[in-house]
Structure 1
Amino acid sequence: MAQHDTLERLLPQSLANAQREVFWAALLVLVASLWIATSFTKQVSLFPSINEGKSPWTNLKARAHYVKNARQLLADGFRKFAGPFTVLTDGGRVIMLPPDMIEHVNAHETLSFKQYTREYMLADYETFRTFKSPPEGMFEEAVMKGLTRSLPKFTKALSNEMTDCLNDSWNKLDDGWHEINPRNDVLDWVARLSSRIFLPGSFAENKEWLRISIDFTTNCFIAITICRFVPWPLRWTAERLLPLCRKVRADYRAAARTLQPVLDERHKEIAAAEREGRKPQLPDDSIEWFRNASHGRCYNEVDIQMGLAVAAIHTTSDLLVQALLNLGAHPELLQPLREEAISVLTQHRLQKTALYELRLLESFFKETQRLKPINMATMHRTATADVELSNGIKIARGQHTAISSHQMWSNEHYDDPDEFDAFRFVKRRQTPGLEHRSHLVATSPEHLGFSHGKHACPGRFFAANEVKISMLHLILKYDFELKDIGMAKWMEFGTNMVANPKAKIWLRKRQPEIDLEALASET
């Protein structure tokens, strides 16, 4: 009887399970059919392809091959076609343009960076909403008019925060040599430095906020990469169900809970000031930079702050990690870098002019960025209408374009381009016609570390100050050595170039010749 009762209870459930399995099987067949049909319908392109196959299955294989071999594919494409060609990437089909077309691309409003970001970063999916662009020009205005104009008064605050970062990490080490992986420490430092300037001071000490601001970006990019490989009819489902996507949404909600009390206080102060007919008492931080740049337009304040974290933390951290690895691989640079730091800080103290005068340090970072930018292709765009460039090249609406960065490693522009020369841009700075192009923040067709043109990284001035101040502390307070020179070699994923996350460096504390803490306390 008990067994019969059990069957009675299980039978309807089994039937229901069977029905669900049939339903999902039918849905998968439908989705697969749609994917195959749409995949065979190729977007018309006037350009030859370097890796496109004849079926969705070979194209899937081509996209996976691209992820591991993008550098070789791009080199093969330019060698074979001597002009624009298409490449099937992890994010779809892209027209790869040669570097001499940079100004042609810059001239066209219909080649949209905003639309490219929306499509490539899957910004229409709830999980990735942070990548939706704010109102036109708002981000750039907030960064340039708010952050960049205020940089001189942030110099000492950044130095003080870097002191605290080191006191909480490497200064706790015993005397003698220690082997460490710098990646996680550097991520934490940059998150703290950025939070100290962008938000109220408590955020730089809030471990949960720091964790979110670091993990959110990493998880977003991994989740987006996974979702790109999911056939588009299944992508909405995958985006809702993938554990990593759920983690991204959970971190976003946690960030909103952390930010909301501060945002509410600001709203109350503004409302009270309006009622009382006075000017609101507001700090000089990113919340206010974006409010001012909005000019009354609607925007999501949490989205903006998470977008700022995405833009500010990982790219700057990557540059600083790669610079540390290069320093470990070239310890002979420590002495000239220290001598410059001592001379400049003695004369200019810890002021804006000091950062400008650190010419060898600037050159060292710019050379680091030349050999390993964050991406070997830049100036990504999507055509919002049919476009004919001034040189006659035609790009159809909806097509994606990018500019190859290979001129950064070309002997047409650089002597011994494959060699790391920390003094390269010191020498170029002394060459007539190249003086202004050789600063760390300068962009040019032959150096696309911060991209180029109207969509060049607006935060590069802050990032440059951040890495220079950080490195001043590091070179004065520590010795560095890299036992395995191969650790300085970066990793490549598609066109992305990332400092080796597993690299370890040897360091030893030393007595600094200059007291940075004392300089930061000077009025």
Structure 2
Amino acid sequence: MEDLIALSYKLLALSVIIYLAPRSLKAWITRSKLNHIPTIGPSGILSSYIGAYRMLHHPHDMIQEGYNKYYGTAFKVPTIGKWFVVVSGPQMVDDLRKATDETVSFREALVDVIQTDYTLGPEIHHDPWHVGTVRSPLTRNLGIRFSDIQDEIEVSFADLVPKTREWAQVPALNTIMKIVCRTSNRLFVGLPLCRNPDYRALNEEFTIRVFQAGYIINLFPNIFKPIAGRLFTNVPASIKRATLHLGPIIQERLDQEDKCGPNWPGKPNDLISWLIGSVPGRQHTIHSIVMRILTVNVAAIHTTSMAFTRVLYDLAARPSYVPALREEIKSVIDNEGLTKSALGKMRNLDSFIKESQRMSGVGAVSMVRKILKDFTFSDGTTVPAGVTVAVAGSPTHLNADYYSKPEEFDGLRFARLRECDGEGTKHQMTSLSLEYVVFGNGRHACPGRFFAATQLKALLIHVLMNYDIKLTDGARPPDRWRGITARIPHPTAAVMFRERRDYEGMNEK
């Protein structure tokens, strides 16, 4: 027995050596090319793994340390198997914003972060033509389809958060994800499919699995990633399940287009039609369109669910903002009704959501890019090809040079800034700047940010005008860090809901 135990330990030690040796050699080679860039944490061949372990659990602390020491230039941090170069300051962020896709790639960085080849499929990696559909026809139709979005919010809340006279405890993130899934798919695939329990469950589960699997696969060396991909993902099964729901609808649309042309009578105004109108000819297949609908769902459900859960936590922890927000909403709706254009008049609402995102809506880094050709920043720092570079995310949002009392939540911060001459649009939540990096910047800024902002505002309006909310113990649930790029709202915390006590009714027509 003792011999067996001893042999087990030897095999374990050998496995660790086999696992670490190639990674250590690769890391050492890369490290030698980055000697000119200062390091946060240990930098030795083996000791860097101590820093990588710390980065898994305390990424914000390490990035903040580098930001404080090397603001305006670059520093590097170790992660499992590779080095991240992190930059800061307006000039370096602008350098990254202006870099060409041939030199600095957003797509290849995304492949590394969420392991796109395994979690979504190689075709999404190599030909993401659906991004143009989100950027153009989806965004263009938000006003036309706003009443549908609003209707689905009302029905979803009625089903999942029924109004009660007494306080009822609601699991925040899980419930919001279900509501966002329904609301998004009202726009994507319409009634009745957006309310189909199996279709909704598929998209919710697929979204969760994509990010969980990407995180896990990144813990493996490259040689083992295909095996990990097969173990922790099941894209073909998800496509097959989605095709059972979407296949007949898509086929009918394709048949109508073949028969009557692209503008056939009664053509639904939804994501399915927009994708069919955008798809390259060679990908005019049910499989390709189903894959794109799943992928758009992943982005929409993940980002908006996370963002609105943060907003709920912030609002429930700071009830003093409720009267001003309700007063603004009522005033605008009384004058204009509840429309997409009316949302633009609600500056306090916009500001509160943007402040929530400033405080907790970005990971330790943002604007992640992979260097394809050696790239030199304007300060002379050169980052070699093959290295991943990013902007310091959360530290940028806590910079006192950019924001007064940055550590304090100020829900009307951006509304006040918009009162200054010439600042009316600069500080709205969808605007891009070098000091606010939730949506990134440049040509790869989030194409769905206008849809996300519309949803977030409509969701918050519904909560404010129909419910009172509070936290179970009064304290905002702490966020959780998942590696260097992800910061998520507390996944199991609850928010208390009850029917609004001073509710006077509202005209939403």
TM-score between the two structures when normalised by the length of structure 1: 0.86
Aligned 1:199-348 pairs, distance under 5 A: 199-240=189-230, 242=231, 244-246=232-234, 249-273=236-260, 279=264, 282-296=267-281, 298=283, 300-348=288-336
1:166 pairs with 2:157 = yes
Contact 1:87/1:93 (8 A) holds in 2: yes
| Alpha-carbon distance change, 91 to 151 in structure 1, aligned in 2, over 3 angstroms | farther
Q: How far did 1:140 drift?
A: 3.8
CA distance in 1 between partners of 2:436 and 2:27 (Å): 37
Q: How far did 1:418 drift?
A: 0.9
Q: Which runs of 4+ in 1 moved over 6 A?
A: 25-32
CA distance in 2 between partners of 1:217 and 1:51 (Å): 33
Contact 1:487/1:503 (8 A) holds in 2: no
Q: How far did 1:368 drift?
A: 0.5
Greater fraction of residues in helix: 1
Question: Per-residue displacement from partner, 1:340-374 (whole Å, max 9, x unpaired)?
Answer: 11111000012223111111111110110111113
Aligned 1:33-112 pairs, distance under 5 A: 34-35=22-23, 37-42=25-30, 44-45=33-34, 46-56=36-46, 58-82=47-71, 83-90=73-80, 92-100=82-90, 101-109=92-100, 110-112=103-105
Secondary structure of 1:180 counterpart? strand
Residue in 2 that maps onto 1:148 = 139
Contact 1:377/1:404 (8 A) holds in 2: yes
Question: Per-residue displacement from partner, 1:307-364 (whole Å, max 9, x unpaired)?
Answer: 1011101111111111111111111211111111111100001222311111111111
User: Pick from 95, 102, 107: which aligns with 1:114?
Assistant: 107
Q: How far did 1:130 drift?
A: 6.8
The code of the aligned residue for 2:295 comes to: G
Contact 1:135/1:294 (8 A) holds in 2: no
Q: How far did 1:513 drift?
A: 2.6
1:375 pairs with 2:363 = yes
Structure with bigger gyration radius = 1
The code of the aligned residue for 1:468 comes to: K
Contact 1:315/1:374 (8 A) holds in 2: no
1:432 pairs with 2:421 = yes
CA distance in 2 between partners of 1:42 and 1:395 (Å): 11
Residue in 2 that maps onto 1:492 = 481
CA distance in 2 between partners of 1:464 and 1:428 (Å): 19
Secondary structure of 2:85 counterpart? strand
Q: How far did 1:392 drift?
A: 2.5
Secondary structure of 1:487 counterpart? coil
Contact 1:48/1:85 (8 A) holds in 2: yes
Residue in 2 that maps onto 1:398 = 386
| Alpha-carbon distance change, 96 to 301 in structure 1, aligned in 2, over 3 angstroms | same
The code of the aligned residue for 1:169 comes to: L
Moved more, 443-452 or 315-324: 443-452
Residue in 1 that maps onto 2:9 = none
Aligned CA-pair RMSD: 2.7
TM-score between the two structures when normalised by the length of structure 2: 0.88
Contact 2:471/2:496 (8 A) holds in 1: yes
The code of the aligned residue for 1:270 comes to: E
1:183 pairs with 2:183 = no
Secondary structure of 2:155 counterpart? helix
Q: How far did 1:30 drift?
A: 6.6
Contact 2:152/2:182 (8 A) holds in 1: yes
Question: Per-residue displacement from partner, 1:11-32 (whole Å, max 9, x unpaired)?
Answer: xxxxxxxxxxxxxx99998776
User: Pick from 455, 472, 479: which aligns with 2:461?
Assistant: 472
CA distance in 2 between partners of 1:278 and 1:458 (Å): 25
Contact 2:42/2:50 (8 A) holds in 1: no
Question: Per-residue displacement from partner, 1:143-171 (whole Å, max 9, x unpaired)?
Answer: 23211111111221111111111111222
Q: Please, which runs of 5 or more residues in structure 2 have no aligned partner?
A: 1-12
The code of the aligned residue for 1:72 comes to: D
Moved more, 321-330 or 370-379: 370-379
CA distance in 1 between partners of 2:188 and 2:276 (Å): 13
Identity of aligned residues (%): 26
Figure out how many residues of one structure are paired with residues of the other and give that number.
487
The code of the aligned residue for 2:385 comes to: R
Secondary structure of 2:487 counterpart? strand
CA distance in 1 between partners of 2:95 and 2:240 (Å): 42
| Alpha-carbon distance change, 442 to 385 in structure 1, aligned in 2, over 3 angstroms | same
Residue in 2 that maps onto 1:20 = none
Q: How far did 1:37 drift?
A: 4.6
The code of the aligned residue for 2:140 comes to: R
Contact 1:337/1:360 (8 A) holds in 2: yes
Moved more, 384-393 or 423-432: 384-393
Secondary structure of 1:103 counterpart? helix
Contact 1:118/1:132 (8 A) holds in 2: no
CA distance in 2 between partners of 1:220 and 1:75 (Å): 28
| Alpha-carbon distance change, 27 to 261 in structure 1, aligned in 2, over 3 angstroms | farther
Q: How far did 1:433 drift?
A: 4.1
Residue in 2 that maps onto 1:8 = none
CA distance in 2 between partners of 1:225 and 1:250 (Å): 20
